[in-house]
Each structure stands twice: as C-alpha cells, then as structure tokens.
C-alpha cells in the first residue's frame, strides 16, 4: 500500500506539474480542435481573466507538494476541486480524454483513502 501510494502520488504530481508548466512556458504548440461547446466554455473561462492562471498556479503548487511527499495530504485536498472540474468538463464537453481524466480522479480518490488517517482530526469534534 505504501509503495502504491508513493507511485500514485508521484504520477499525479508529475501530471499537474507538467500541465501547469506547459501553460506558463507555452511549450505545447499543438492545441486540439475544440467543439462549439468547448469553445464557448473556454471563452467564458478566458473572459474572466484571472481564473485560468489561478487554476494553473493551484496545479503548480499542488504538483510540487505532491512530489515533496511530506505535504501530500494537503495537496490532495487542494487539487481535488480542480480534478473534479476537469473530470466533469471531459464528461460533458469532451469525452475524448475521459479515460485519462478518470484515472486522475481515481488517483486523487486513492490518495484520499491512503491519507484518511490524516483527515480524521479535521472531521472530529
């Protein structure tokens, strides 16, 4: 269980670190073709100006925290809303990448299960 936790934590952290760095460094030259619904959604996100950089900074911080390991329970909590939003985006707007995003969601849920003892003080009185 401990080795699986480490592997999943590092994989999830690397995914988010790569996604955030590629956004800020702009080294993903090929953008996939978007549907009309995806274009409308992304236009709304981009119109807010602050939302996409906020999400990418959150991904960057959580990716680093996941790779550090000591702060992985906190990182799993921080990144879960982003993971869930990415999952629902692909579920409803773009099912092409749904299997990979589903794996990311499962990784996040696995980390919740693996670190459940760390979360008990939050839930207890």
Is 12 within the bounds of a domain?
A: yes
- Distance, in Å, from the CA atom of 25 to the CA atom of 98, rounded to the nearest integer, reads 25
Torsion angle, CA of 56/60/63/68, rounded to 10 degrees?
Answer: -170
Question: What are the pLDDT digits (tens) for 21-63?
Answer: 988 898 866 777 888 888 898 899 889 999 999 999 999 999 9
Query: pLDDT tens for residues 75-86?
Result: 999 999 999 999
Span 100-112, average pLDDT: 95
- Is 35 a member of any domain? no
Judge whether 70 lies within some domain.
Answer: yes
Q: What is the pLDDT of residue 27?
A: 81
In a domain, 33, yes or no: no
Expressed in angstroms, the distance from the first to the final Cα of the chain is: 29
Give domain status of residue 43, yes or no: no
In a domain, 100, yes or no: yes
State residue 63's pLDDT score: 96
pTM of the predicted model as reported, rounded to 2 decimal places: 0.88
Counted domains in the chain: 1
Residue 68 lies in a domain: yes
Range of the domain at 99: 2-27+49-123
Residue 113 within any structural domain of the chain: yes
């Amino acid at each position: 269980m401990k080795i699986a936790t480490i592997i999943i934590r590092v994989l999830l952290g690397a995914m988010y670190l790569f996604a955030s760095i590629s956004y800020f460094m702009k080294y993903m030259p090929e953008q996939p073709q978007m549907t009309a619904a995806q274009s409308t959604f992304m236009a709304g996100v981009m119109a807010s100006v602050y939302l996409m950089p906020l999400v990418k900074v959150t991904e960057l911080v959580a990716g680093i925290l996941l790779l550090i390991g000591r702060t992985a329970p906190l990182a799993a909590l921080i990144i879960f809303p982003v993971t869930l939003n990415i999952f629902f985006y692909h579920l409803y707007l773009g099912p092409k990448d749904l299997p990979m995003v589903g794996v990311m969601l499962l990784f996040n849920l696995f980390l919740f299960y693996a670190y459940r003892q760390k979360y008990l003080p939050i839930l207890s009185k």
